[in-house]
Structure 1
Amino acid sequence: MSAVNRAAVEAVLRQYTDPYLNQDPVSAGCVRHIEVQGEHVNVQLELGYAAGLFKNGWAQMLQMAISNLEGVSSAKVEINCVIAPHKAQAQIPGLANVKNIVAVASGKGGVGKSTTAANLALALAREGARVGILDADIYGPSQGVMFGIAEGTRPKIRDQKWFVPIEAHGVEVMSMAFLTDDNTPMVWRGPMVSGALLQLVTQTAWNDLDYLVIDMPPGTGDIQLTLAQKVPVAGSVIVTTPQDLALLDARKGVEMFRKVNIPVLGVVENMAVHICSNCGHAEHLFGEGGGEKLATQYGVEVLASLPLAMEIREQADNGKPTAIADPNSPIALIYQELARHVGARIVLSEAATQAMPTITTSDD
């Protein structure tokens, strides 16, 4: 029986690709420790994204592969998720007690952006991350309803300076709706809204969050630009439907984030297909393949494609979005995949930025 060494263990690990990082654990820099004691092998890996529901199965797969290596009688693979703060826009200071900010945006309203943001936040929390959500849609705040927070609920004030976010379903929630009357429209000009949003972001006492999801207002106006230029955003997610008109506006959202140097992590396509509840017939009511076209045009990925389904709307309206209302359903599993892809894309986008060469010029 041949002796086992570290190189042999690494060779086995290189044969398996992390489906979210799109690299093997060795190339992705996930290996933290490999110990070989005779016929016994212990491996410790570290993922930089939230993957609590994925890591055990991934560990078992790798453990089985190492166990089949000649000369190994027992193997143990342990995987931990350690989420670090990642680079945001240059010259914008980080936000206290928040590691990574993810902006969920759309070029137009009515495409399911807020529902996506709520389910993304809840799915990240189910993966073991500490998560908050900021409802930045001043004119149409809806996260309070989606998280089942009673009308009239107000945040506590700490030290006469900080808003204490309201916790619901394990997620910290903050919204302008908590500070105003639900029946009173916000008749504010852009600068007033921008100032209020910045106060909400910077004066909320977030509690050591791994991810803060911001439900952005629809469009690409001054409110969005203010947030993009003054809030340290690690990455953005663009929500669209396959409809041509929605795609036109979604393109503007992609371009806006690129102009302010915020990575576009990918595209979420909502209402991609409708399945008739009576006969099972599938219809693409809003067109087909629109999200894929948008992603291809800008060199990003379709992170998730979701159906037009009544339960998504009903569960959100009832204050328990799909990710927690029916966590084992096919739709909830899509949201879990989305959460892992978003976390992994933040890691990869920073790695890509660091890998870019520096170009210098001289008079020679």
Structure 2
Amino acid sequence: MNEIKHIIAVASGKGGVGKSTVAANLALALRALGAEVGLLDADIYGPSQQLMLGVGEDVRPEQQGGQFLLPVKAQGLKTMSMGYLVTERTPMVWRGPMAGGALAQMLEQTLWGPLDYLVIDMPPGTGDVQLTLAQKAQVAGAVIVTTPQDIALLDAQKGIEMFHKVDVPVLGVVENMAMHVCSSCGHQEYIFGQAGAERIAQEYGVPLLGRLPLERGIREQGDAGTPTVVAAPESAAAQAFMAIARAVRERLAGDDKGAVRQFPDIKITDD
């Protein structure tokens, strides 16, 4: 971890908002900008990056010295996931502290090598895994993913508040599934509401990093193991991901504190 310049947590208050899709495409977009990038799938209970990056079910990370893991190369990224360590039929029936311990092991016992960015696909919510990450690493910032509807925005607010309480900067908000464009006539329809993420960003004084469409191609490309930034780099959706990556890179410019945090002191108060 001493060789990682920036850790970026991609998080959401609730599941189903496209957080893993954003994490994978953000990592690939940063790589397309010339950076050395790693991707850690920290969604212990429901890892999805193995499928999304086209890594075979039988792929397992190599070990070194009986203690360390070598990251799995996928789409030019250095990756690690609980999906590499168990089969798809193995449910992770663990209590919260065990999930936090699994994150700590994958984070600290993977030989990442020199990285400009380590993107972490966080599980939804504000529990043990999030607190473990704040304890173990100097997180450069968090990207909050939400959809425009009110119920998702309520959970996004909780995510922002949680990162504030553990002193992790919020780099900005990504609004996913912002609008649907009809493939036949080109009509735009705001199925889940309009400008919800923009309101949240303004309320907390953070940037709206980008707005992504509700598009079948994004889902199909992720399911096929070739995310949009790789599968259709000239598409409008891929360019939206690239714009988000540029905004994140700009927000982190000049911040080279490194990724290791010593003697963590987390204080959470009800204020």
Contact 1:265 / 1:300 at 8 angstroms: preserved in 2? yes
Which residue is 1:341 aligned to?
Answer: 247
In structure 1, give the amino acid aligned to 2:248.
V
Which among 210, 214, 221 is matched to residue 308 of structure 1? Answer: 214
Which among 159, 163, 179 is matched to residue 273 of structure 1? Answer: 179
Instruction: Return the alpha-carbon distance in structure 1 between the equivalents of residues 5 and 40 of structure 2.
Output: 14
Contact 2:140 / 2:252 at 8 angstroms: preserved in 1? yes
Identity of aligned residues (%): 60
Encode CA deviations 1:73-96: one digit per residue, 9 max, x unaligned.
xxxxxxxxxxxxxxxxxxxxxx22
Which among 111, 114, 124 is matched to residue 30 of structure 2? Answer: 124
1:115 correspondence with 2:115 = no
| Bigger RCO of structures 1 and 2 (CA < 8 A, at least 6 apart) | 2
Which residue is 1:106 aligned to?
Answer: 12
Instruction: Return the alpha-carbon distance in structure 1 between the equivalents of residues 157 and 256 of structure 2.
Output: 23
1:215 correspondence with 2:124 = no
How far residue 276 of structure 1 moved from its aligned partner, in angstroms, is 1.2
CA change 1:350–1:178 in 2 (3 A) is closer
How far residue 222 of structure 1 moved from its aligned partner, in angstroms, is 2.1
Q: Aligned to 1:212, what secondary structure does the other structure show?
A: strand
In structure 2, give the amino acid aligned to 1:232.
Q
Bigger Rg, structure 1 or 2: 1
> How does the TM-score come out when normalised to structure 1?
0.69
How far residue 227 of structure 1 moved from its aligned partner, in angstroms, is 1.4
In structure 1, give the amino acid aligned to 2:224.
N
Encode CA deviations 1:177-230: one digit per residue, 9 max, x unaligned.
100111111000011111111000000000201100000000011221221222
Q: Aligned to 1:304, what secondary structure does the other structure show?
A: strand
Instruction: Return the alpha-carbon distance in structure 2 between the equivalents of residues 158 and 350 of structure 1.
Output: 28
Contact 2:5 / 2:256 at 8 angstroms: preserved in 1? no
1:331 correspondence with 2:237 = yes
In structure 1, give the amino acid aligned to 2:60.
R
In structure 1, give the amino acid aligned to 2:134.
A
How far residue 350 of structure 1 moved from its aligned partner, in angstroms, is 8.1
Which residue is 2:165 aligned to?
Answer: 259
Contact 2:6 / 2:256 at 8 angstroms: preserved in 1? no
Contact 1:265 / 1:345 at 8 angstroms: preserved in 2? yes
Q: Aligned to 1:118, what secondary structure does the other structure show?
A: helix
Which residue is 2:194 aligned to?
Answer: 288
Q: Aligned to 2:253, what secondary structure does the other structure show?
A: helix
How far residue 348 of structure 1 moved from its aligned partner, in angstroms, is 6.6
Which among 35, 40, 53 is matched to residue 147 of structure 1? Answer: 53
CA change 1:260–1:350 in 2 (3 A) is farther
Q: Aligned to 1:123, what secondary structure does the other structure show?
A: helix
Which residue is 1:42 aligned to?
Answer: none
In structure 1, the gaps of 5 or more residues are 1-94, 352-364
Q: Aligned to 1:138, what secondary structure does the other structure show?
A: coil
Instruction: Return the alpha-carbon distance in structure 2 between the equivalents of residues 174 and 283 of structure 1.
Output: 37
Moved over 6 A (4+): 348-351
1:248 correspondence with 2:176 = no
Instruction: Return the alpha-carbon distance in structure 1 between the equivalents of residues 128 and 68 of structure 2.
Output: 26
Instruction: Return the alpha-carbon distance in structure 1 between the equivalents of residues 81 and 57 of structure 2.
Output: 12
Which residue is 2:68 aligned to?
Answer: 162
1:321 correspondence with 2:227 = yes
Which residue is 2:267 aligned to?
Answer: none
Q: Aligned to 2:80, what secondary structure does the other structure show?
A: strand
Which residue is 1:199 aligned to?
Answer: 105
Instruction: Return the alpha-carbon distance in structure 1 between the equivalents of residues 222 and 170 of structure 2.
Output: 26
Encode CA deviations 1:233-290: one digit per residue, 9 max, x unaligned.
1111000000100000000000011111111000000000001112222111100000
Encode CA deviations 1:147-188: one digit per residue, 9 max, x unaligned.
100012100001111100110111011001100111111000
Q: Aligned to 1:210, what secondary structure does the other structure show?
A: strand
The farther-off stretch of 228-237 and 317-326 is 228-237
Aligned length: 257
CA change 1:349–1:161 in 2 (3 A) is closer
Instruction: Return the alpha-carbon distance in structure 1 between the equivalents of residues 256 and 195 of structure 2.
Output: 29
